[in-house]
Structure 1
């Protein structure tokens, strides 16, 4: 059986290296393994297994949250958020950078996707920051790092995928992300302020209570969106999937209230969202085949037994897994990393007594950092493209912001109460 596993591994790596899409490579490698281990007869139910895997009820939340974010952009909701947050904190030196973080924090509560966040916020915030005297690398770095809050703050598409892959409660994963997300936002704002003082970045305008009141009233219907989503989930009234459907309905109603929906922009956003969703669903379907192969070969269980034979110290295992996921994040997108790796390590975390919800947040934070680190760095590359900035120059400026995310990761890894406090309060 060891020879079969080695064959599958090298088949997968070889296909990825010649740019075969990861989902296709994953499915083909699993098929190779099944045929080698059990013969052609093992493929009889392949199509049905893949279909069942990609049509789980929990996964419906992914296209719904993407759609809600698209409606927000097309209906002028995002612009009103920017104006309100600018009136609230724009008077601080370097305030536009903090506005960037604040708006990302709010937008994260709707879209659940860091790429969607940076695409939506970046096209507005980066040109405006450059116009006000911020360097292109700094504008790209703060936009990219703050967008990663979108997969820490609920709702989060990677958390949904982790929940489906591990069997952990998606609602509890969402709750666990609230405190780390707020800590991350505060840290990013703090670093932005240090940059602002050091490089004498501009103050936008003096604080104006009348403008704050006007922008608050104008954005008031928008504030119903996080209340509906997070209030429904935390209150136990709806599941994550049902909250996603409510988010779409609420975004449509708020868009109708403002009467500014740009149908052309909405159509473009929907097409992009449909392609993102299709890629994720294909990955999920392919992972079912690989999961079946791994289950039959008992590889995850053997890995868990081998590692626990070396150490059964929880903190050591967490350190090893953190390094592992950080390295994986350099080379794989978050969805692919979760689907490929989580089913393998779940038996290990169960053996050493790590809470799967706690571990889910650790995985998510690692992958948020991976979105900022080349060569893959999907979010960073998107921000660089919008800012027309060199990725290596942006990466240098981005180091302190990535440091904040690393701090949050270590804090949540070794002070379990930070992410789990609200979970314990609401659910246990």
Structure 2
């Protein structure tokens, strides 16, 4: 029956059924084949959603949408331009800096590329940037979103494994900064080679004004991170605090939010949340079936029979995640693979927190790779650039992403040093 489960899942994907429904339908077929009472289907689905930690998903989605619609994105971009706009390649660099700041609010790569990319790609093209590099910069910088906290994929990993979401958040800080800094260097080298224009240096007054306008986003990041790390509230409570903060800033400071658009933002956030929660519920049934069929143990014994070398096991796991990221959306792949592979990594002594970052980083890289690289598709569509050209522009950034992935995989101190400061 396990074979029928996987075959039906693959067939549904191939004929274009969305991932969540593919999971649900394949699980339903398994239940029928095993003659398991269908009441258990509903029970397993509900138990997968009955998690206090999962409540922070709608909170962070709503907070990000409120801040974005409240006029925050343009304020962040203006502040970033004031900081680095006068450097060669400064417009491209400001895109990356803005993404690093926005990452502390949105938690998703798609939100980043859709909001910042919509403004920055046309701006870079107007400034004389090669369109394929304008697309590549926005696409690659958006990957910082799910790495720097808060991060929706890390919330999913924490829910699946029982790991501290707070520690996973903190573990992503250094890898996220490392990704961003490397991309800044690449943009500078591309701009120098292409002799891209330099913007006039902002005056001290202009910089301070842009800082004042953008400081509210930095305060939000501070509240989320230090509230969790200081033990003042859980990630779920942090998401609610973020929503209240976003409402206050959007209504009273930026004055962009009103009753009408708040209702529309809530509706949009509910749609996004419903899609994620449906996926989580079906994936919990899928995970239960895998556990019932002893698939994790079978995969662990198979991999360990090939080699018990920790370096090779991690290499194989990276390849599995990278391959899955080419075909599955990030959260879908996490829900399917993490419960299966965590047993393998613990057998060879990999820290589960480090494994969580390895999984997330692998799969967000998949957002830039065809055939299901949604960030690549969105950025290419905004820039009106053919996909093949976008991939060429993305090449140097992709190489850096792979270098960071290898560093995170084989130098665990990059992810574990900050969480270790938290103790237990």
Residue pair 1:84, 1:219 contacting (<8 A) in 2 also: yes
Question: Residue 189 and residue 265 in structure 1: after superposition, are their counterparts in 2 closer, same or farther (change >3 A)?
Answer: farther
From 112, 117, 122, the counterpart of 1:117: 112
Q: CA RMSD in A?
A: 1.6
Residue pair 1:222, 1:254 contacting (<8 A) in 2 also: no
Shift of 1:208: 2.1
3-state SS, counterpart of residue 211 of structure 1: helix
- Which residue matches 1:173? 168
Residue pair 1:76, 1:258 contacting (<8 A) in 2 also: no
Question: Residue 195 and residue 381 in structure 1: after superposition, are their counterparts in 2 closer, same or farther (change >3 A)?
Answer: same
Q: Distance in 1 between matches of 2:41 and 2:273?
A: 21
- Listed as ranges, the gaps of 5+ residues in structure 2 are none
Residue pair 2:96, 2:184 contacting (<8 A) in 1 also: yes
- 1:253 aligned to 2:245? no
What per-residue deviation string (whole Å, max 9, x for no partner) do you get for residues 396-428 of structure 1? 101111111111100010001011100111125
Shift of 1:271: 4.1
What per-residue deviation string (whole Å, max 9, x for no partner) do you get for residues 113-139 of structure 1? 110111111111112112211222211
Shift of 1:395: 0.9
3-state SS, counterpart of residue 427 of structure 1: coil
Residue pair 2:101, 2:217 contacting (<8 A) in 1 also: no
More deviation in 258-267 or 310-319? 258-267
- Listed as ranges, the gaps of 5+ residues in structure 1 are none
More deviation in 221-230 or 251-260? 251-260
Aligned residues: 423
Q: Distance in 2 between matches of 1:146 and 1:273?
A: 23
Q: Distance in 2 between matches of 1:239 and 1:262?
A: 27
- Which residue matches 2:327? 331
Residue pair 1:118, 1:382 contacting (<8 A) in 2 also: yes
More deviation in 152-161 or 73-82? 73-82
Shift of 1:262: 4.9
What per-residue deviation string (whole Å, max 9, x for no partner) do you get for residues 344-388 of structure 1? 112212222211110000011101110000110011111111111
Q: Distance in 1 between matches of 2:76 and 2:252?
A: 15
Shift of 1:332: 0.5
What per-residue deviation string (whole Å, max 9, x for no partner) do you get for residues 75-122 of structure 1? 222221111111111110110101000010011001101101111111
Q: Distance in 2 between matches of 1:222 and 1:151?
A: 17
Q: Distance in 1 between matches of 2:218 and 2:109?
A: 20
What per-residue deviation string (whole Å, max 9, x for no partner) do you get for residues 143-195 of structure 1? 11101100111111111111112222111110100000001000000000000
Question: Residue 9 and residue 220 in structure 1: after superposition, are their counterparts in 2 closer, same or farther (change >3 A)?
Answer: closer
From 140, 144, 147, the counterpart of 2:142: 147
Compute the TM-score of the two structures, normalised by the length of structure 2.
0.96
Shift of 1:221: 3.0
Shift of 1:291: 1.5
Alignment of 1:47-58 (within 5 A): 47-58=42-53
- Which residue matches 1:194? 189
- 1:413 aligned to 2:409? yes
- Which residue matches 1:96? 91
- Which residue matches 1:82? 77
What per-residue deviation string (whole Å, max 9, x for no partner) do you get for residues 311-351 of structure 1? 22211110000011001100011011011111111221222
Shift of 1:276: 2.4
Q: Distance in 2 between matches of 1:14 and 1:326?
A: 21
Q: Distance in 1 between matches of 2:221 and 2:374?
A: 26
What per-residue deviation string (whole Å, max 9, x for no partner) do you get for residues 205-241 of structure 1? 1242221122222333332101101111222222111
Alignment of 1:205-284 (within 5 A): 205-263=200-258, 269-284=265-280
Compute the TM-score of the two structures, normalised by the length of structure 1.
0.95
- 1:31 aligned to 2:21? no
More deviation in 369-378 or 19-28? 19-28
Residue pair 1:113, 1:150 contacting (<8 A) in 2 also: yes
- Which residue matches 1:426? 422
